[in-house]
């Protein structure tokens, strides 16, 4: 996979979880401190763009191994594991943005469906400033089945669902927690919703009536941290 | 201004704050219920793209008047007005994303600097699903001066600043509140930071150590709502 963007390449190198081969950088980017100790092929910005197939490269791209997906069993090990599960999110930028929040709040992992969903593409690596390199992301065949397994492992599963009568700040979020968030337009699929222990909603006071999935996740995840501190 | 994208065009029409002239739509988009009562020029997707200069048009674009900026005096009228002020945010997508959150949590307005900052461009209209059409957005010549005025009008001014020892959930957010958020990389300018009553930070537990400005704003704005409910 060709990873592009300053933070994405830097964090792929820093995390060291997948091999990084050739690195191409435009003259200015090649001088950044984190690149000086590396073997870099200094090329024009056009060649960087051509190598990575995007204009959003910030002067650097690199040949990296495939994204090292985690095992879905491994993301619920800690007693207070916090995991985000995505349902129907198809935009790699949204996947990336949710991963960035998940990484910042210290989630143990992110779970995504194997099919018909955004994967960890180069765009999903670029968007979240390299967060995916440090985060455990696992693919599962069936989200509802995985949630059932998570419940057997004593996780509480909360689904974000606009319109649920339970406000997001009502539950006690201690222990193993899975937060399921859906796509902007379509929300959670019925089987996934049914697999949740509780559906929670964020208050909506405006007229447009929907948050982007990453901002909704941020609001709920920070509430979870807060509930755990004060709980 | 050519506004593009389904929600952006729909909300420009729904809000009715600026004139909307010609509307161009690809055959499928032209059949959406909110467009059927309108005079629409049905064209190919390529012509829509050419009219708006973006491939992100979702089959529809429209000729709209200039964005109707609000007066900066008008955004702090209510006793419990909640206003977001942006400093150094230069990406229109980030401006749009913050506006979307601000609209959803019921902010009275958003304040942006007149210069060297993202404006309400067509991309900033598209990104937040039309939220900017319903939101009051005011431009000010100097952010620090405007914050000083806001304080004279009995607003409390909170700046989001990573590393501040005051956690975002500590203040009492009742009354008139201005939340100042900065750019991802650079944060707030010193003069802007100095103009805040208090700087607040979100806990960061990961390794990547920075949130996107819209997700940070979401976490803090929802905390403000919550503080007001329980306060």
User: Residue A185: pLDDT above 80?
Assistant: no
Residue B69 lies in a domain: no
Residue A69 lies in a domain: no
- Residue A154: CB atoms within 10 Å: 10
Whole-number Å distance between alpha carbons of B57 and B9: 10
For residue B128, list chain A residues with Cβ-Cβ distance below 8 A.
208
- Report pLDDT for A22: 96
- A177 shares its domain with A132: yes
Q: Give the number of A-B residue pairs with CB atoms closer than 8 Å.
A: 116
- B103 shares its domain with B27: no
- A52 shares its domain with A91: no
Pull the structure tokens for residue B200: 């607040």
Residue A188 lies in a domain: yes
Cα of B187 vs its chain's centroid, Å? 17
- Report pLDDT for B85: 98
DSSP annotation of B72 reads: G
Average pLDDT over residues A139-163: 96
Confidence bin at B210 (pLDDT 50/70/90): confident
Mutate to test the interface with B, among A217, A222, A228 (most CBs of B within 10 A): A222
- A101 shares its domain with A146: yes
User: Residue B37: pLDDT above 90?
Assistant: no
User: Residue A211: pLDDT above 70?
Assistant: yes
Query: A155, A143, A74: which is closest to A112 by C-alpha?
Result: A143
- Report pLDDT for A157: 98
Q: What is the pLDDT of residues A78-97, one digit of tens each?
A: 999 999 999 989 889 899 99
> What percent of chain A is modeled with pLDDT above 70?
99
- Report pLDDT for A183: 83
To the nearest 10°, report the CA torsion of B187, B193, B196, B199: 60
Determine, for residues A222 and B226 on separate chains, whether the beta-carbon distance falls below 8 Å.
Answer: no
> What percent of chain B is modeled with pLDDT above 90?
82
Give A55's contacts (C-beta < 8 A, 6+ positions apart): A49
- Report pLDDT for A85: 98
- Residue B154: CB atoms within 10 Å: 10
Mutate to test the interface with B, among A215, A217, A230 (most CBs of B within 10 A): A215
Query: B62, B65, B67: which is closest to B48 by C-alpha?
Result: B62
Compute the mean pLDDT over every residue in chain B, rounded to the nearest whole number.
93
- A80 shares its domain with A167: yes
- Report pLDDT for B1: 93
Residue A102 lies in a domain: yes
Pull the structure tokens for residue A136: 């455990």
Give B167's contacts (C-beta < 8 A, 6+ positions apart): B200, B201, B202, B203
Which H/E stretch holds residue B205? Answer: none
Question: What are the CA-CA distances from residue A205 to residues A3, A60, B7, B153 (Å)?
Answer: 39, 42, 18, 24
Average pLDDT over residues A34-61: 93
- A17 shares its domain with A100: no
User: Residue B137: pLDDT above 80?
Assistant: yes
Confidence bin at A186 (pLDDT 50/70/90): confident
Which residue of chain A has the CA closest to B220?
Answer: A219
Residue B152 lies in a domain: yes
Confidence bin at B50 (pLDDT 50/70/90): very high
Q: Is B195 left (phi over 0), alpha (psi -120 to 50) or beta?
A: alpha
Structural domain of A95: 74-230
- A9 shares its domain with A117: no
CATH of the domain at B218: 3.40.1280.10
User: Residue B14: pLDDT above 80?
Assistant: yes
- A105 shares its domain with A36: no
Determine, for residues A129 and B223 on separate chains, whether the beta-carbon distance falls below 8 Å.
Answer: no
**Whole-prediction pTM:** 0.92
For residue A130, list chain B residues with Cβ-Cβ distance below 8 A.
208
Overall number of domains in chain A: 2
User: Residue A184: pLDDT above 80?
Assistant: no
DSSP string, A82-133: EEEEESS---HHHHHHHHHHHHHTT-SEEEEESSSS----HHHHHTTTTGGG
CB B71 within 8 A of CB B167: no
Domain boundary among A64, A97, A118: A64
Q: Which of A130, A203, A217 sits opposite B225 (nearest CB)?
A: A203
Q: Is the dihedral of CA A201, A202, A208, A213 positive or negative?
A: negative
Mutate to test the interface with A, among B8, B103, B104, B107 (most CBs of A within 10 A): B104
Pull the structure tokens for residue A125: 């690596």
Residue B141 lies in a domain: yes
Whole-number Å distance between alpha carbons of B70 and B84: 14
Q: What is the pLDDT of residues B167-199, one digit of tens each?
A: 999 999 999 999 999 987 778 999 999 999 999
- Report pLDDT for A209: 66
Confidence bin at A187 (pLDDT 50/70/90): confident
User: Residue A229: pLDDT above 90?
Assistant: no
Mutate to test the interface with B, among A212, A223, A231 (most CBs of B within 10 A): A212
Determine, for residues A218 and B215 on separate chains, whether the beta-carbon distance falls below 8 Å.
Answer: yes
Break chain B down into helix, strand, coil percent, rounded to 5. 35, 20, 40
* Residue pointed to by tokens 């968007």: A127
Domain boundary among A15, A41, A64: A64
- B173 shares its domain with B194: yes
- A59 shares its domain with A172: no
Query: Environment class of residue B27 by beta-carbon count within 10 Å: exposed (0-12), middle (13-18) or buried (19+)?
Result: exposed
Determine, for residues A218 and B218 on separate chains, whether the beta-carbon distance falls below 8 Å.
Answer: yes
- Report pLDDT for B209: 65
Separation in Å, CA of B4 to nearest CA in chain A: 17
For residue A97, list chain B residues with Cβ-Cβ distance below 8 A.
212, 215
Residue A194 lies in a domain: yes
Query: A2, A94, A104, A113: which is closest to A57 by C-alpha?
Result: A2
To the nearest 10°, report the CA torsion of B72, B77, B82, B84: 0
Separation in Å, CA of B44 to nearest CA in chain A: 24
Q: What is the pLDDT of residues A97-131, one digit of tens each?
A: 999 999 999 999 999 999 888 899 998 888 887 89
- A80 shares its domain with A59: no
Whole-number Å distance between alpha carbons of B79 and A59: 48
Which residue of chain B has the CA closest to A225?
Answer: B203
Residue A26 lies in a domain: yes
Task: Work out whether strand A156-160 and strand A177-181 pair parallel, antiparallel, or are unpaired.
Answer: parallel
Determine, for residues A103 and B131 on separate chains, whether the beta-carbon distance falls below 8 Å.
Answer: no
Give B72's contacts (C-beta < 8 A, 6+ positions apart): B111, B138, B139, B140, B146
CB B184 within 8 A of CB B146: no
Average pLDDT over residues A206-221: 91
User: Residue B158: pLDDT above 80?
Assistant: yes
- Report pLDDT for B156: 97
CA count, 13 A, side-chain hemisphere, A103: 24
Domain boundary among A64, A95, A113: A64
Query: B150, B173, B161, B186: which is closest to B221 by C-alpha?
Result: B173
- B116 shares its domain with B226: yes
Q: Which of B106, B216, B219 sits opposite A206 (nearest CB)?
A: B106
- Report pLDDT for B45: 94
């Amino acid at each position: 996979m060709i990873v592009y963007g300053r933070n994405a390449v830097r964090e792929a190198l820093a995390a060291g979880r997948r091999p990084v081969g050739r690195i191409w950088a435009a003259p200015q980017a090649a001088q950044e401190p984190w690149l000086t100790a590396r073997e870099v092929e200094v090329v024009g910005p056009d060649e960087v763009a051509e190598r990575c197939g995007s204009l959003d490269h910030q002067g650097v791209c690199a040949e990296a191994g495939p994204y090292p997906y985690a095992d879905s069993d491994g993301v619920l090990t800690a007693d207070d594991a916090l995991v985000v599960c995505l349902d129907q999110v198809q935009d790699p930028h949204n996947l990336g943005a949710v991963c960035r929040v998940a990484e910042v709040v210290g989630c143990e992992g992110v779970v995504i469906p194997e099919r018909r969903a955004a994967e960890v593409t180069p765009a999903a690596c670029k968007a979240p400033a390299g967060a995916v390199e440090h985060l455990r992301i696992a693919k599962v065949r069936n989200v509802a089945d995985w949630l059932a397994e998570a419940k057997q492992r004593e996780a509480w599963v909360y689904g974000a669902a606009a319109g649920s009568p339970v406000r997001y700040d009502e539950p006690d979020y201690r222990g193993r927690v899975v937060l399921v968030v859906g796509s902007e337009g379509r929300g959670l699929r019925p089987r996934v919703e049914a697999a949740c222990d509780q559906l929670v909603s964020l208050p909506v006071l405006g007229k447009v009536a929907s948050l982007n999935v990453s901002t909704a996740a941020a609001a709920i995840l920070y509430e979870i941290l807060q509930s755990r501190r004060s709980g």
